[in-house]
């Protein structure tokens, strides 16, 4: 019984937050995030290529990656030569294999191209820019919608419904987590 009350409280709380935020802001925020993500992914690589064509930034990034790779390789050589006494204990290698594995993994992570690294950075900047622009548009639409007769009331009611729906989705996920724990551990919900 107390779990049901908790679930109902979650739905009501999310409904209230949705009503206070309004339908336009709630739906607009979701649409803004999706559109910003798609546009950033589509435009990141072409814009990065354009930046690299006009500047020497790709060479700078490649040099930085090269310096990091050189440092890792030198560290590997030091560990490989300095751990001769720790290399095998009882016929099995303990420390050197794990350290070499760590450095090899790190070396593989660092070996990314300048274009890929630049594209990731540009995508983050574009996503932020598009989110700001979309956020401004959503605010303008929200203010315009609230100026029409009954707009504020509709925005409030639909906002409550959107928030309650979000709360319901969270309750469903929480229920399945608790249901899984109940089956796994024999707990009661």
* Residues in a beta bridge with 92: 89
pLDDT for res 96:
53
What is the rounded radius of gyration, in angstroms, for the C-alpha atoms of the chain?
A: 27
pLDDT for res 166:
87
Whether this model's pTM surpasses 0.85: no
Tokens 């029409």 map to which residue? 148
* Max CA pair span of the chain: 84
Q: How far apart are CA 178 and CA 92, in angstroms?
A: 45
pLDDT for res 131:
92
Q: How far apart are CA 70 and CA 63, in angstroms?
A: 10
CA atoms within 13 A on the CB side of 119: 13
pLDDT in tens, the chain (189 residues): 688 898 899 999 989 998 998 899 888 888 888 899 999 999 999 998 899 888 888 778 777 777 777 776 676 666 555 544 444 445 444 445 555 555 555 444 444 577 788 888 899 999 999 999 999 999 999 889 888 989 889 999 999 998 898 889 889 888 888 787 777 676 665
Using a 10 angstrom Cβ sphere, with 0-12 exposed, 13-18 middle and 19 or more buried, the burial of residue 151 is middle
């Amino acid at each position: 019984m107390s779990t049901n009350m908790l679930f109902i409280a979650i739905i009501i709380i999310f409904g209230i937050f949705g009503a206070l935020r309004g339908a336009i802001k709630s739906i607009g925020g979701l649409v803004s995030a999706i559109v910003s993500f798609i546009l950033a992914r589509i435009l990141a690589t072409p814009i990065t290529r354009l930046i690299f064509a006009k500047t020497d930034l790709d060479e700078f990034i490649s040099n930085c990656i090269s310096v990091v790779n050189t440092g890792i390789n030198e560290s590997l050589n030091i560990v490989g030569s300095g751990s001769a006494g720790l290399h095998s204990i009882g016929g099995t290698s303990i420390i050197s294999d794990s350290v070499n594995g760590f450095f090899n993994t790190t070396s593989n992570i660092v070996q990314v191209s300048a274009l890929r690294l630049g594209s990731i950075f540009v995508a983050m900047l574009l996503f932020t820019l598009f989110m700001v622009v979309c956020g401004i548009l959503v605010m303008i639409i929200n203010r315009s919608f609230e100026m029409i007769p009954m707009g504020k009331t509709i925005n409030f009611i639909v906002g409550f419904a959107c928030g309650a729906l979000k709360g319901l989705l969270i309750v469903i996920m929480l229920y399945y987590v608790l249901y899984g724990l109940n089956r796994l551990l024999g707990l009661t919900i």
